[in-house]
Amino acid sequence: MESRMRLALLLSACLLALPASASETRIPAEALAAAGELRERALADTTGHALVESLTTEIGPRLAGSEADARAVEWAKARFAELGYDRVWTEPVTFPKWERRSESARVLGAHAQPLVITALGGSPGGTVEAEIVRFSDYAALEAAPAGSLVGKIAFVDYRMARTRDGSGYDAAGPVRSRGPSVASSKGAIGYLMRSVGTSPHRVANTGMTRFAEGVAPIPAAAMSLPDADQLGRLLQRGPVQVRLALDVGFNGEYTSQNVIGEITGSELPDEYVVLANHLDSWDLGTGAIDDASGVGITLAAGHLIGQMPQRPKRSIRVIAFANEEQGLIGARQYVERHAADIGKHVIAAESDFGAGRIYGFSSNAPEYAQAAVRQVAEALAPLGIEHLPGQGGPGPDLIPLAQAGGTWAWLGQDGTHYFDLHHNADDTLDKVDPDDIAQNVAAYAVFAYLTAQAEGGFGSAAKDHASD
Amino acid sequence: MESRMRLALLLSACLLALPASASETRIPAEALAAAGELRERALADTTGHALVESLTTEIGPRLAGSEADARAVEWAKARFAELGYDRVWTEPVTFPKWERRSESARVLGAHAQPLVITALGGSPGGTVEAEIVRFSDYAALEAAPAGSLVGKIAFVDYRMARTRDGSGYDAAGPVRSRGPSVASSKGAIGYLMRSVGTSPHRVANTGMTRFAEGVAPIPAAAMSLPDADQLGRLLQRGPVQVRLALDVGFNGEYTSQNVIGEITGSELPDEYVVLANHLDSWDLGTGAIDDASGVGITLAAGHLIGQMPQRPKRSIRVIAFANEEQGLIGARQYVERHAADIGKHVIAAESDFGAGRIYGFSSNAPEYAQAAVRQVAEALAPLGIEHLPGQGGPGPDLIPLAQAGGTWAWLGQDGTHYFDLHHNADDTLDKVDPDDIAQNVAAYAVFAYLTAQAEGGFGSAAKDHASD
CA distance B326 to chain A (A): 20
List, for residues A183-218, the tens digit of each pLDDT value: 999 999 999 999 999 999 999 999 999 999 999 999
Please list, in sequence order, all residues whose beta carbon lies within 8 angstroms of the beta carbon of residue A458, skipping any fewer than 6 positions away. Answer: A25, A346, A347, A363, A365, A366, A369, A372, A373, A407, A451
Q: Residue range B421-441: average pLDDT?
A: 98
Whole-number average pLDDT of chain A:
94
pLDDT at B374 over 80: yes
Q: Residue range A258-282: average pLDDT?
A: 98
Distance of CA A239 to the CA centre of its chain: 39
Give me the pLDDT at residue A104, please.
Answer: 98
With CB atoms and an 8 Å threshold, state whether B57 touches A233.
yes
Q: Nearest Cα to A304, choosing from A76, A11, A44, A73?
A: A44
* Mutation to test the B interface, candidates A49, A57, A116, A430, most B Cβ within 10 Å: A57
Give the chain A residue nearest B67 (alpha carbons).
A112
Calpha distance A443→B3 (Å, rounded): 85
Domain with CATH 3.50.30.30 in chain A: 101-251
Domain with CATH 3.40.630.10 in chain A: 23-86+264-465
Taken in order A422, A427, A430, A436, the sign of the CA dihedral is positive
With CB atoms and an 8 Å threshold, state whether A107 touches B60.
yes
With CB atoms and an 8 Å threshold, state whether A286 touches B230.
yes
Confidence category of residue A15, pLDDT binned at 50, 70, 90: very low
Confidence category of residue B464, pLDDT binned at 50, 70, 90: low
Give me the pLDDT at residue A464, please.
Answer: 58
pLDDT at B171 over 50: yes
CA distance A90 to chain B (A): 22
With CB atoms and an 8 Å threshold, state whether B57 touches A111.
yes
With CB atoms and an 8 Å threshold, state whether A113 touches B60.
yes
Distance of CA B192 to the CA centre of its chain: 24
List, for residues B175-195, the tens digit of each pLDDT value: 999 999 999 999 999 999 999
Please, is A278 exposed, middle or buried when counting C-beta atoms within 10 Å of its C-beta (0-12, 13-18, 19+)?
buried
List, for residues B44-65, the tens digit of each pLDDT value: 999 999 999 999 999 999 999 9
Calpha distance A55→A73 (Å, rounded): 11
Interface ipTM above 0.95: no
pLDDT at A96 over 70: yes
Please, is A386 exposed, middle or buried when counting C-beta atoms within 10 Å of its C-beta (0-12, 13-18, 19+)?
middle
Q: Residue range B7-16: average pLDDT?
A: 43
Taking each helix axis as running N to C, give the angle between helix B434-453 and helix B47-54, from 0 to 180 degrees, rounded to the nearest 10: 120
Calpha distance A277→B82 (Å, rounded): 60
Give the chain B residue nearest A58 (alpha carbons).
B111
CA distance B289 to chain A (A): 14
With CB atoms and an 8 Å threshold, state whether A60 touches B107.
yes
With CB atoms and an 8 Å threshold, state whether A230 touches B114.
no
Give me the pLDDT at residue A4, please.
Answer: 45
Give me the pLDDT at residue A170, please.
Answer: 86
Confidence category of residue A463, pLDDT binned at 50, 70, 90: confident
pLDDT at A242 over 70: yes
With CB atoms and an 8 Å threshold, state whether A425 touches B116.
yes
pLDDT at B10 over 80: no
Interface residue ranges in chain A relative to chain B, Cβ cutoff 8 Å: 53, 56-61, 67-68, 71, 107, 110-114, 116, 199-203, 225-226, 229-230, 233-234, 237, 285-286, 424-426, 428-431
With CB atoms and an 8 Å threshold, state whether A60 touches B200.
no
Residues of A in contact with B199 (CB under 8 A): 201
Taken in order B283, B288, B294, B299, the sign of the CA dihedral is positive
Residues of A in contact with B226 (CB under 8 A): 426, 428-430
Give the chain A residue nearest B428 (alpha carbons).
A226
Query: What percent of chain B has a predicted confidence (pLDDT) above 70?
Result: 94
Residues of A in contact with B285 (CB under 8 A): 202
Rg of chain B on CA atoms, in Å = 24
| CA terminus-to-terminus distance, chain B | 29
Q: Residue range B362-375: average pLDDT?
A: 98
Helix (H, G, I), strand (E, B) or coil at A179: helix
Calpha distance B30→B313 (Å, rounded): 13
pLDDT at B16 over 80: no
Give the chain A residue nearest B284 (alpha carbons).
A114
Please, is A159 exposed, middle or buried when counting C-beta atoms within 10 Å of its C-beta (0-12, 13-18, 19+)?
middle
List, for residues A324-339, the tens digit of each pLDDT value: 999 999 999 999 999 9
Confidence category of residue A171, pLDDT binned at 50, 70, 90: confident
With CB atoms and an 8 Å threshold, state whether A200 touches B430.
yes
CATH class of the domain defined by A101-251: alpha beta
List, for residues B294-306, the tens digit of each pLDDT value: 999 999 999 999 9
CA distance B71 to chain A (A): 9
Residues of A in contact with B202 (CB under 8 A): 201, 203, 285, 424-426, 428
Give me the pLDDT at residue A7, please.
Answer: 46
Give me the pLDDT at residue A385, please.
Answer: 98
List, for residues B245-266, the tens digit of each pLDDT value: 999 999 999 999 999 999 999 9
Confidence category of residue B170, pLDDT binned at 50, 70, 90: confident
Architecture of the domain made up of A23-86+264-465 = 3-Layer(aba) Sandwich (3.40)
Give me the pLDDT at residue B12, please.
Answer: 43
Where would I find the H helices in B83-199? 138-142, 167-177, 179-185
Calpha distance A322→A92 (Å, rounded): 9
Residues of B in contact with A60 (CB under 8 A): 107, 111-114, 230
Residues of A in contact with B286 (CB under 8 A): 113, 230
Interface residue ranges in chain B relative to chain A, Cβ cutoff 8 Å: 53, 56-61, 67-68, 71, 107, 110-114, 116, 199-203, 225-226, 229-230, 233-234, 237, 285-286, 424-426, 428-431
Choose the weakest-confidence range: A163-167, A463-467, B351-355.
A463-467
Give me the pLDDT at residue B466, please.
Answer: 41
Size of interface A-B (CB pairs under 8 A): 100
Give me the pLDDT at residue B15, please.
Answer: 41
* Mutation to test the B interface, candidates A99, A106, A202, A420, most B Cβ within 10 Å: A202
Total residues belonging to chain B: 468
Q: Residue range A71-82: average pLDDT?
A: 98
List, for residues B82-114, the tens digit of each pLDDT value: 999 999 999 999 999 999 999 999 999 999 999
Q: Residue range B370-377: average pLDDT?
A: 98
List, for residues A361-387, the tens digit of each pLDDT value: 999 999 999 999 999 999 999 999 999
Calpha distance A176→A156 (Å, rounded): 9
Helix (H, G, I), strand (E, B) or coil at A3: helix
List, for residues A291-319, the tens digit of each pLDDT value: 999 999 999 999 999 999 999 999 999 99
* Mutation to test the A interface, candidates B52, B54, B57, B289, most A Cβ within 10 Å: B57
Domain with CATH 3.50.30.30 in chain B: 98-251
Choose the weakest-confidence range: A169-178, A346-355, A402-411, B420-429.
A169-178
Total residues belonging to chain A: 468
Measured between CB atoms, which of A68, A201, A233 is closest to B426? Answer: A201
With CB atoms and an 8 Å threshold, state whether B426 touches A202.
yes
With CB atoms and an 8 Å threshold, state whether A53 touches B428.
no
Residues of B in contact with A203 (CB under 8 A): 201-202
With CB atoms and an 8 Å threshold, state whether A226 touches B107.
no
Please list, in sequence order, all residues whose beta carbon lies within 8 angstroms of the beta carbon of residue A90, skipping any fewer than 6 positions away. Answer: A73, A77, A257, A258, A259, A260
Domain at B98-251, CATH from 3.50.30.30, 3.30.470.20, 2.40.160.20, 3.40.50.720: 3.50.30.30
pLDDT at B289 over 60: yes
CA distance B207 to chain A (A): 18
Identify the DSSP state of B78: H
With CB atoms and an 8 Å threshold, state whether B112 touches A60.
yes
Give the chain B residue nearest A107 (alpha carbons).
B60
